């Protein structure tokens, strides 16, 4: 009797009228409320997760993201179907075959060969099918198309904590190095090489392609394209991207933007790429602050692509941990044409640029500018208001 899986019910085992008194009812209403709360929380997460803004992967603007989204949908809905069927059968069995008063002990069985074969074959087919679909998709999106318009190539380098974009040839042989804002022409494949100067970062623009790691001493490649027929808004449009690999203190503030533009707009940006004009008094004064008083040129280039030797002279002491010393820093040549500041965290304006120069630590804790540059003492720039104003003017005038 002690080994029986069935609870023996004596006359005292049955619920009496008094056991359905208040505490039980209170417990069940508490349970109902918990279930309701749980459902509402799940619904909230579902609705929030389905938003197509910002970093959502539910909206694809190009062929790579679209194929990845299609694969995700196949995997997701197949798994949802399996879950619903399995849980449905389980619930049906629990309810339909529950023990009722007076039931006899059911017949005891062991094994059912045909059932076991069926329950092995179905999951095997499912897993193999989804696996094959995944592998084929990986091969399909691996290489940029060789027919159609020429690909535009960009080298992307990850730094703590910003992105460097280099166009070896942005058109007519123009060599461009910029930071944190990638401009791409619409309807044209963009081929990308990814690497890092310090630690592992990850490059991710959800609406264009899945994430890929940026690894020191190793080059990864990817490609994507923005299709005009998938974008409803007028060009140019700006897409959000961010570093997707924990890379140190300011990882969460390591963002970037991708601006999709018409080829003509892209060409005009590329043609205008060059040092800021100095045809106002403020800009002339600012140029002097930038090159002399501030010592900004030790780390920042402002008159075109960085010289590889200069980049090396910044990187070596940085990797050695020399303090203070130059560090790899964003190229500022086209700053006046950008929308954001400090790796995509602030909208670029005179005010935000002034705040950033004055005290970068307030904006982006952990940044190397306020830690390494001799200009900064106790986190604050050793410049008077007039000098900061001139510097802002130099960087932004005539934009």
**CB 214 → ligand CUA: shortest distance, Å?**
8
DSSP secondary structure letters along 372-397:
H-TTEETTEES--HHHHHHHHHHHHT
| Contact (Cβ atoms closer than 8 angstroms) between residue 170 and residue 152 | yes
* Phi, psi angle pair for 370, to nearest 5°: -75, -20
In the set 247, 302, 342, 353, which binds ligand CUA (CB under 6 A)?
A: 247
Nearer to ligand CUA, 245 or 389 (CB): 245
Stretch that binds ligand CUA, among 66-74, 78-86, 246-254, 319-327 (CB under 6 A): 246-254
Say whether residue 254 binds ligand CUA (CB under 6 A). yes
Stretch that binds ligand CUA, among 60-68, 77-85, 243-251, 283-291 (CB under 6 A): 243-251
Name residues whose C-beta falls within 8 Å of residue 346's C-beta, 6 or more positions apart in sequence. Answer: 340, 352, 355, 356, 363
100 SS3 class: coil
Say whether residue 300 binds ligand CUA (CB under 6 A). no
Burial of 61 (0-12, 13-18, 19+ CB in 10 A): buried
Total of chain residues touching ligand CUA, rule CB under 6 A: 9
* Phi, psi angle pair for 87, to nearest 5°: -70, -35
Say whether residue 251 binds ligand CUA (CB under 6 A). yes
Nearer to ligand CUA, 60 or 243 (CB): 243
**CB 301 → ligand CUA: shortest distance, Å?**
21
**Backbone CA torsion sign across 211, 216, 218, 219:** positive
Encoded tokens for 120: 């092995």
**CB 244 → ligand CUA: shortest distance, Å?**
7
The Cα–Cα gap between 304 and 162 comes to 18
Stretch that binds ligand CUA, among 16-24, 132-140, 174-182, 247-255 (CB under 6 A): 247-255
In the set 166, 245, 334, 389, which binds ligand CUA (CB under 6 A)?
A: 245
Nearer to ligand CUA, 90 or 249 (CB): 249
Nearer to ligand CUA, 199 or 237 (CB): 199
Encoded tokens for 348: 């670029």
Stretch that binds ligand CUA, among 215-223, 240-248, 281-289, 353-361 (CB under 6 A): 240-248
Say whether residue 197 binds ligand CUA (CB under 6 A). no
| Contact (Cβ atoms closer than 8 angstroms) between residue 206 and residue 65 | yes
DSSP state letter for 216: B
* Phi, psi angle pair for 261, to nearest 5°: -135, 165
Encoded tokens for 128: 């193999």
Nearer to ligand CUA, 213 or 397 (CB): 213
Stretch that binds ligand CUA, among 69-77, 169-177, 245-253, 287-295 (CB under 6 A): 245-253
Nearer to ligand CUA, 247 or 327 (CB): 247
Binding residues (CB under 6 A) for ligand CUA: these are 158, 161, 201, 243, 245-247, 251, 254
């Amino acid at each position: 009797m002690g080994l029986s899986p069935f609870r023996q019910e004596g006359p005292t085992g049955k619920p009496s009228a008094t056991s359905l008194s208040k505490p039980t009812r209170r417990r069940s209403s508490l349970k109902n409320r918990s279930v309701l709360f749980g459902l509402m929380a799940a619904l909230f997460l579902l609705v929030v997760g389905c938003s197509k803004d910002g970093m959502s992967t539910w909206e694809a603007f190009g062929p790579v993201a679209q194929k990845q989204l299609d694969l995700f949908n196949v995997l997701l809905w197949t798994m949802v179907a399996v879950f619903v069927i399995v849980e449905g059968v389980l619930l049906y069995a629990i309810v339909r075959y529950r023990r009722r008063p007076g039931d006899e002990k059911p017949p005891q069985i062991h094994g059912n060969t045909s059932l076991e074969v069926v329950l092995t074959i179905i999951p095997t087919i499912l897993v193999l099918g989804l696996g094959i679909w995944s592998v084929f998709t990986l091969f399909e999106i691996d290489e940029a198309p060789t027919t159609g318009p020429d690909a535009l190539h960009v080298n992307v380098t990850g730094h703590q904590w910003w992105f460097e974009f280099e166009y070896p040839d942005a058109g007519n042989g123009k060599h461009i190095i910029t930071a944190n804002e990638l401009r791409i022409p619409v309807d044209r494949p963009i081929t990308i090489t990814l690497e890092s100067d310090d630690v592992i970062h990850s490059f991710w623009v959800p609406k264009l392609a899945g994430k890929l790691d940026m690894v020191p001493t190793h080059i990864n490649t990817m490609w994507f394209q923005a299709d005009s027929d998938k974008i409803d808004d007028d060009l140019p449009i700006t897409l959000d991207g961010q570093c997707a690999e924990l890379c140190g203190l300011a990882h969460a503030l390591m963002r970037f933007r991708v601006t999709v533009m018409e080829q003509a707009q892209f060409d005009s940006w590329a043609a205008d790429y060059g040092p800021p004009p100095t045809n106002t008094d403020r800009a002339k004064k600012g140029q002097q602050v930038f090159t002399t008083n501030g010592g900004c040129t030790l780390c920042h280039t402002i008159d075109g692509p960085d010289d590889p030797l200069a980049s090396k002279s910044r990187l070596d002491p940085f990797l050695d941990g020399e303090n203070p010393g130059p560090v790899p820093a964003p190229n500022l040549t086209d700053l006046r044409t950008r929308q954001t500041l400090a790796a995509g965290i602030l909208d670029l304006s005179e005010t935000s640029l002034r705040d950033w120069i004055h005290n970068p630590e307030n904006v982006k804790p952990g940044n190397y500018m306020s830690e390494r540059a001799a200009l900064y003492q106790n986190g604050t720039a050793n410049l008077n208001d007039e000098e900061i104003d001139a510097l802002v003017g130099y960087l932004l005038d005539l934009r």
